[in-house]
Chains A and B, each alone.
Chain A
Amino acid sequence: MAAHEILTATNAIVTLDVALPGTVWPWLVTVNMWAKSIGTGVIFMLFLLLRKHPEQAGSLRFSTTVVSLIFIHIFLLFTLADLHQPFRMWHIFFYPHVTSAITVGAWMATAFVGLLFLLAFLSFIKKDNAAFDKTLVWVTILAIPVTLYTAGLMAQCTARELWQMPTESAQMMLAALLAGSATMILLGGSKLNYEAKSTLGVVLGLSALFGFILYMAEYIFGPMKAEEVAAVLEYIKGDGPYTVMFWVGQWMTFLLPMLLIVLSRSVKSENLLKLAALLALAGLWIVKHVWLMIPQLLPMS
């Protein structure tokens, strides 16, 4: 019998147990994921722009590198802040356990930061665009696993059935494309013309579309495969504690930006693109937070 049938048949009620742990990974981890999406996403977008609109994007080499550095450091800072023993962070490098996505992620993020500083050096001190563009290829390639390792970490959380590697890795990549394109639309200012921003708008719109499709696929079809997923998704359905936040996030991150981008293309409005970008960036935090929180509400024992 399925658990919900047992419940109906037995009316079983927990009458005495210890207090359950509260949220294990709090909002600090949400900031971690959100900032990393921006930090790697802008690198993806710089790579794209330098190929599609090189004359426009050339002036963005240094500023994009700085933005990436800032957000990767926010990501690292909040990762550190979430540790209960932050001063032992060095153990990851001196006692590494390579089966852990945390270890692999920490190494890759460190290498990524090193390469970002190299990009900053090449663009600001040496002013060598050719070397910058060659290095950017490797930074972009490394940005892919740096983006994805958090999905691996979530997948290693055997207790949280909702987080599956295939969907989480797709969500991480889409979040990076969405956040990267949104940030570049805002960062572009007068340096990018409407065509370049329109390209970014297409990336933003498509990322939003596929991100929304994935969440809705989980929302509708997830409960058909696993009881734990069904129980977790109850927290965002009906009167669930995260229902409102979930839908606010879906509208802000995916639906409204999609509508605004379609509208901006028909009236050629940069302001609408910027509004879409702002909504997507703010909404992404909400979407990530809901998905981080809800599996933690389920009693494990």
Chain B
Amino acid sequence: MQLGFLVDLHLCMGCKGCEIACKVENEVPLSTWRLRVKYVDVGTFPETKRTFTPLRCNHCENAPCERICPVSALHYLENGIVNIDKERCIGCAGCVMACPYGAIYIDPQTHTADKCTYCAHRVASSMMPACVVACPVQANIFGDLDDATSNISKYIQANQGNVQVRKPEKGTNPHHYYVNGGNVTLNPLASHRVDGHQLFNKITTLPVGGHH
């Protein structure tokens, strides 16, 4: 079994329901996120559009976080999930530095690394991840990549040539796919990130795990 995720960016409408469901399900502390939706505005008025990109751990086949973790706090499960053992983590932040997707954070309450686990605890009980359940347009598709009859495998088959991963050049072999994505949505260097102001806030950076 190899669990994977796929997001159809044409369906995503940026409601952030997945973000909130994840926060509630996993008790993610304030100022940290396992999953978030990034808005990128494209074009010049009046020819503009807004894109929405849910970002979470990519559960890479060749995970840099797993490799750099000195105590195996980050480890592979048999179903392909890259899981984290917070009791073992020493908080060296090597994984935060290694992850090319910025998907790992230091939990300010436990002072350990944390990230999306594809809701491994729910998956173990044959439930879908919280974000999948919350999505009102079924933009999040989750399932077994090794099973040709699973929804995710069928979706990938049906959209051949239009399936992308983030930063393929890093050689991490992510198990998180996007359909209808592009450079603007998936490449952080392809958009401006103006310091100081966003739609609803003016905070661009936060201390790491309340440390330093």
Residues in A lying within 8 Å of B, measured CB to CB: 1, 3-4, 6-7, 10-26, 28, 82-86, 88-89, 91-92, 95-97, 99-103, 106, 153, 156-160, 227-228, 231, 296, 298-301
Pair B40/A12 contact, Cβ less than 8 Å? yes
Q: List the A residue with the shortest CB-CB distance to B14.
A: A16
**Across the two chains, which residue of chain B brings its CB closest to A99?**
B67
Complex Cα spacing A4 to B38, Å: 19
Q: What per-residue 1/0 map shows which CB atoms of B102-128 lie under 8 Å from chain A?
A: 110110000110000000000000000
Does B91 lie within 8 Å of A83, measured CB to CB? yes
Determine whether the beta carbon of A3 is less than 8 Å from that of B198.
no
Contact of B191 among A14, A99, A153, A296 (CB under 8 A): A14
12 intermolecular pairs with C-beta atoms under 8 Å apart: A3-B183, A3-B189, A6-B187, A16-B38, A16-B198, A22-B205, A26-B212, A85-B111, A86-B91, A99-B68, A299-B102, A301-B102
B64–A1 CB distance below 8 A: no
A159 and B183 form a contact (CB under 8 A): no
Asked if B160 lies at the interface with its beta carbon under 8 angstroms from chain A, I say no
CB pair A11 B43 closer than 8 Å: yes
Whole-angstrom CA separation of A96 from B33 in the bound complex: 28
- List B contacts of A102 (CB < 8 A): 68, 70, 92, 94
Say yes or no: B96 contacts A15, CB within 8 Å.
no
Residues B97 and A157 in contact, CB atoms below 8 Å apart: yes
Contact with A along B1-41 (1 / 0, CB 8 A): 00000000000000000000000000000010100111111
Chain B positions within 8 Å of A, measured between CB atoms, are 31, 33, 36-44, 50, 55, 64, 67-72, 88-94, 96-103, 105-106, 111-112, 166, 170, 172, 183-184, 187-194, 198-201, 203-209, 211-212
**Interchain CB contact under 8 A, A15 and B40:** yes
A92 B90 Cβ-Cβ under 8 A? yes
Measured CA separation A4–B191 after assembly (Å): 8
Q: How far is the CA of A231 from the CA of B208 in the complex (A)?
A: 22
A1-B183, A19-B206 as given contacts; A231 in contact with B189, CB under 8 Å: yes
Q: Does B97 lie within 8 Å of A299, measured CB to CB?
A: no
Q: Return the contact of A23 from the options B188, B193, B208 (Cβ within 8 A).
A: B208
Residues of the A chain whose Cβ atoms lie less than 8 Å from the Cβ of B201: 19
| Closest B residue by C-beta to A300 | B102
Q: What CA separation (Å) do A153 and B209 show in the bound complex?
A: 21
| Docked CA distance A265–B209 (Å) | 51
Contact across chains for B36 and A18 when beta carbons are under 8 A apart: yes
B189→A227 contact, CB < 8 A: yes
Q: Chain A residues with Cβ under 8 A from B94's Cβ?
A: 100, 102, 153, 156-157
Write out the residue numbers on chain B whose beta carbons fall within 8 Å of the beta carbon of A11.
Answer: 42-44, 192
On chain B, the residues within 8 Å of A301 by CB distance are 38, 55, 101-103, 166, 188
Q: Are B207 and A14 in contact (CB under 8 A)?
A: no
Interchain CB contact (< 8 A) of A100 among B68, B100, B101: B68
